Amino acid sequence: MWKSVFVALAFSPLLAGPTAAAGLSEIPAERVAALSSRLPEQPRGFGPPCANREAWTSAVVERRTTEVRKAAEKLLTQDFPPWDQALYLEYSRDGARPNGERMMNARKAWLYPLVVAECVEGKGRFLPAIQRAVAELDSQPTWTWPAHDRGLRNLRDQNFEVDLLAADTAHDLAQALYMLGDWLPPDLRQRTLSALNQRVFDPVRKSLVGANRDHFWLRADHNWNAVCLKGVVDAALTVLPDRTDRALFAAGAEVYIRNYVAGFGPDGYSSEGPGYWNYGFSHFVALREMLIEATGGELDLFADPKVREIALYGDRIEMLPGNIAAFGDAAPNTRMDAFTRAYANDALNLGQDQHLASVRIDGGQSGNDAPLAKAALLLFVTPKPVGGGARRAADGGGPRGYFASAGVLVSRPAPGDKLAVSIKAGGNGNHSHNDIGAYTVGLGDEQPVGDVGKTQYSAKTFGPDRYSIPGISSWGHPVPVVAGALQGEADKIKPRVISTRFTDETDEITIDMADAYAVPTLRALTRTLVHDRKNGGAISITDAFQFTAPATFEAAITTLGDWKRNPDDSLELWRGNEHLLARIESSAPWTLRAEHSNEEGLSFTRVAIALTAPSESGYIRVRYEPVRP
C-alpha cells in the first residue's frame, strides 16, 4: 500500500523541523518517486526558448504574432504602470474591486507582448522594457488580488498564499525565464526565482506536504482548483531545478485536480456557467498539456472519460454559433473560448471545426490569464491525442443539447432559421443565481430577452447579501413572483424535470418550480417550454399554478435591450437588428409593469406580467416569434 509522502526536508529548508509534522499529505511518496523518474533532467516550459532562432523566425510565427508585436511597439513609448497602494486598499476599506484589479492587471500585462516580440525579432530592442517589467513584478508587494487579501495578510505581513492572479503571474514569469534564458541578466533571473519561491512555490509546497492549511482550492470543485493548480504546477515544471521537487507538484496536480472534475455533472454540465467553463477548463487543458509533456505521457488528465463530456459542453451549450445563454455569473455576450475548444477537439477527436493551429493570437493584454504561456502553446504545441478515442459527432449541428443532470435544454432552430432557446431547472454551483426555470431566447447572434447575466463583482457579490442584488435574485430573472415571494437559493434546490419530449420538429420540457418558493399555500407550479421549429419557429413559455387559497401571481420578461407595447397588446423586444414579438395569454386579465435596475454595474429592464386579481389556479403564457419582415 502506498505510503503518504513526508518529503518536506527534501524540498525546502523552510519546511525543516516540527512544521513538517503539522499535517498528513494525501500525495503518495511512491507516486512522487515514479513521476520523478519520468521528468526531464532540466525544467522546460511551452515551446522552444527564444534562442532557437529557426523556430521563432518562421513565416508562420511571424504572421500569427503580428498583433502581439504591434502591442509591444506601443509599450516601448509608455511608462510602466505604477503600483498604487491606495487602489489596492480600496477593497479592504469599502469592498470595491475594479480599480485595484485594473492596476494589477495593467502591470502584469506588459510581459506577454514584450517577450513574444523579442523572441520573434531577437535584436534586444525589447529587453530593457522586459527587464523593467520583470523587476517591477518581482518587487511588487503582492501578486494576490485585493478581494482575496481582505485581511492584508499578503500585502502587509508577506505571509503569502496563492490565489488566481498569483498563480497566473507565477506561470507567466516562469515562462518568461524559460523563453529568454540567458538573455536576461543572472541577478534578475535569481531575484525572479526567489520571488517565485517565496510567493508561490514555498506556500503551496507546504500545503502539499501537509505543513499548513492554506489553499482551500486544492479541495475545491470549481474554477479556483483548475486555475491555481495550472498556474502553480506549470510554473514549477517550467523553472524548478530539482527533479524530485517538480515531481511533488506534478503528483499534487494528479491528486487534487480530481476535485475540479468532480464538480461537473456526469454529462459534462458546468454548474458554474459558460463563462467559468471558459476560465476553469482553459486552465485545465493547459495543465494537461504541461503534465503530459513533462512526464512523457505518463500523466494524462484527459484519460478520464468524463473529461470528454466536459469538453463537449463548449459545443452543446451553444444555441446558435456564438450565442450562449448567460446563466450564472456569465457576462452578457459570453462566447465559448476558441483556444479551449480547439485544444480539446484536437486531443479528443470530438469532430468539431476548431483546431489549435487556426486559433487567433491577438495583442490583447488580459491580466486575468497567463497569455505568454498560452501564446507559446498556441504557436508550437500539437496536442497529443488520447489513445483509443473513437470519433464522436459534435452536438452543435443537431437540434439540441440536453444536460439531464441539471435539467438544462438548449433547443436550436431548424436549418436556415435563427430562433433558439435555452432553459435551466437548477442552480449554478458557487456562482448560483436564484433562477430556477430561467431562460434565454436567441435570435440570430442576439438575445432580445432572457437571463441578463452577471453583475459587477464587489464585496457584496460573495457575501451574505448576495441574493439581495437584483440581477442575482429571482427578481432579475424571467421567472414568476408567487404570492409576492421571490425564489429561494437555487443551489439548494434539486432540479425537477417532470417530462421532456424531443423531436426534429418540436422540443418540449416541463419543470416543477414549486420547491423554489417558500409559499405554504402553493400546491403546484410548473413551467412548460415548447419550441416549435416549423415556419421560422415559435417558442411558448407557460406557467401554470395552483394555490390552496387565492393569491397573487406574476410572470416576468427580462431584457438588456428595448421594448414597446403594440396596440394589439403584443410586445416587441430588441437589442440590435433582430426584433422579437411576444404575445401574452392568461387565465384571467393581466397588467404590465416595467421596472429598471442599474445596481452593481448591470443595467436591465424587468417587465412584469401580473394577473389583476388573486386566483386559486391559472396560467400565464408568453409566445415568442421573430418579427417577420
Helix (DSSP H) and strand (DSSP E) numbers for the chain:
19, 17
Q: Is the pLDDT of residue 592 over 80?
A: yes
Regarding predicted confidence, which is higher, 392 or 555? 555
Residue 346's region, left for phi above 0, alpha for psi from -120 to 50, else beta, is alpha
pLDDT at 21 over 70: no
Q: Distances from the Cα of 409 to the Cαs of 287, 425, 439, 541, 550, in angstroms? A: 30, 9, 9, 13, 32
Question: What is the structure's pLDDT at 11?
Answer: 36
Query: What is the per-residue pLDDT for 458?
Result: 84
Q: Assign 12 a pLDDT band (cuts: 50, 70, 90).
A: very low
Instruction: Please tell me the total number of residues recorded for the chain in this structure.
Output: 629
Distances 315 to 28, 219, 249, 262, 523 between C-alpha atoms, Å = 37, 28, 32, 20, 38
Note the pLDDT of residue 493. Answer: 86
What topology is assigned to 8-12+22-380 in CATH? Answer: Glycosyltransferase (1.50.10)
Q: Express each pLDDT in 330-351 by its tens digit.
A: 888 899 999 999 999 999 999 8
What gap in Å lies between CA 228 and CA 238, rounded to an integer? 15
Residue 42 has pLDDT above 60, yes or no: yes
Sorted by sequence, the CB contacts under 8 Å of residue 270 that are 6+ apart come out as 264, 276, 277, 280, 281, 310, 313, 317
Distance, in Å, from the CA atom of 437 to the CA atom of 300, rounded to the nearest integer, reads: 38
Contacts of 382-388 with CB under 8 Å at 24 or more apart are 382/346, 382/356, 382/357, 383/289, 383/343, 383/346, 383/347, 383/356, 384/292, 384/297, 384/300, 384/347, 385/346, 385/347, 385/348, 385/349, 386/300, 386/302, 386/303, 386/308, 386/347, 386/348, 386/349
pLDDT at position 9 is 31
Q: Cα 523 to chain center, whole Å?
A: 38
CATH topology of domain 400-626: Beta-galactosidase; Chain A, domain 5 (2.70.98)
The label of the residue with cell 475548444 reads 341
Q: Give the residue among 473, 425, 453 at the shortest CA–CA distance from 324.
A: 453
The average confidence (pLDDT) of the chain is: 92
Q: Is the per-residue pLDDT at 8 higher than 50?
A: no
Mean pLDDT to the nearest integer, 248-263: 97
Percent of the chain with pLDDT over 90: 83
Residue 472: band (very low, low, confident or very high) from pLDDT cuts 50, 70, 90? confident
Lowest-confidence pick of 184-188, 430-434, 594-598: 430-434
> How far apart (Å, rounded) are the C-alpha atoms in residues 235 and 251?
14
For 499-537, write each residue's pLDDT tens digit. Answer: 999 999 999 999 999 999 999 999 999 999 999 999 999
Give Cα 349 distance to the centre of its chain: 23
pLDDT at 541 > cutoff 60: yes
Residue-level pLDDT at 463: 82
pLDDT at position 398 over 70: yes
User: What's the confidence (pLDDT) of residue 397?
Assistant: 58
pLDDT tens figures, 189-205: 999 999 999 999 999 99
* DSSP character string of 191-241: HHHHHHIIIIIHHHHHHHTTS----GGGG-SSHHHHHHHHHHHHHHHHH--
pLDDT at 490: 87
- pLDDT at residue 430 in the model: 76
The answer to whether residues 190 and 173 touch, using CB atoms and an 8 Å cutoff, is: no
The one-character DSSP state at 382 is: -
pLDDT the model gives residue 407: 95
Angle at which helices 164-180 and 98-108 cross, to 10°: 10
**What's residue 6's pLDDT?**
32
Cα–Cα distances in Å, from 134 out to 78, 186, 320, 459, 594? 16, 13, 43, 31, 52
273, 327 in Cβ contact below 8 A? Answer: yes
Pairing of strands 538-551, 615-626: antiparallel
- Using the predicted structure, report yes or no on whether residue 78 has a pLDDT greater than 60: yes
Neighbouring CB atoms inside 10 A of 368's CB total: 16
Distances (CA, A) of 181 to 186, 222, 243, 371: 9, 35, 19, 19
Confidence of residue 82 (pLDDT cuts 50, 70, 90): very high
Report the candidate in 143, 152, 253 with the shortest Cα–Cα distance to residue 198. 143
Query: If residue 276 lies in a helix (H) or strand (E), which one and from where to where?
Result: helix 274-294
Q: What is the mean pLDDT of residues 89-94?
A: 93
pLDDT exceeds 60 at position 253: yes
Using an 8 Å Cβ cutoff, are 203 and 150 in contact? no
Q: What is the pLDDT of residues 574-587, one digit of tens each?
A: 999 999 999 999 99
- Grid cell in block for residue 354: 476548431
- Check pLDDT > 80 for residue 389: no
Give residue limits of the domains in the chain. Answer: 8-12+22-380, 400-626
pLDDT at 2 over 50: no
Residue 368 pLDDT class (50, 70, 90 cuts):
low
Q: Is the whole-model pTM more than 0.75?
A: yes
Question: Vertex 94, ends 93 and 100: CA angle to 5°?
Answer: 80
pLDDT digits (tens, 9 = 90+) for 108-118: 999 999 999 99
Between 179 and 18, residue with greater pLDDT = 179
Element (H, E) at 510: strand 506-512
Cβ atoms 195, 138 nearer than 8 A: yes
Q: Average of pLDDT values for 27-45?
A: 96
Residue type, 171: H
pLDDT at 289: 97
Q: What pLDDT, on a 0 to 100 scale, did the predictor assign at position 527?
A: 98
- Where does the pLDDT of residue 601 fall: very low under 50, low under 70, confident under 90, or very high at 90 and above? confident
pLDDT on residue 457? 85
Q: Which of 557, 560, 558 is nearest to 543 (CA)?
A: 557
Quick one: pLDDT at residue 299?
97
d(CA 560, CA 573): 10
CB under 8 Å to 197, separation ≥6 — which residues?
none
Give the pLDDT band of residue 147 (cuts 50, 70, 90). very high
pLDDT of the residue at 364: 59
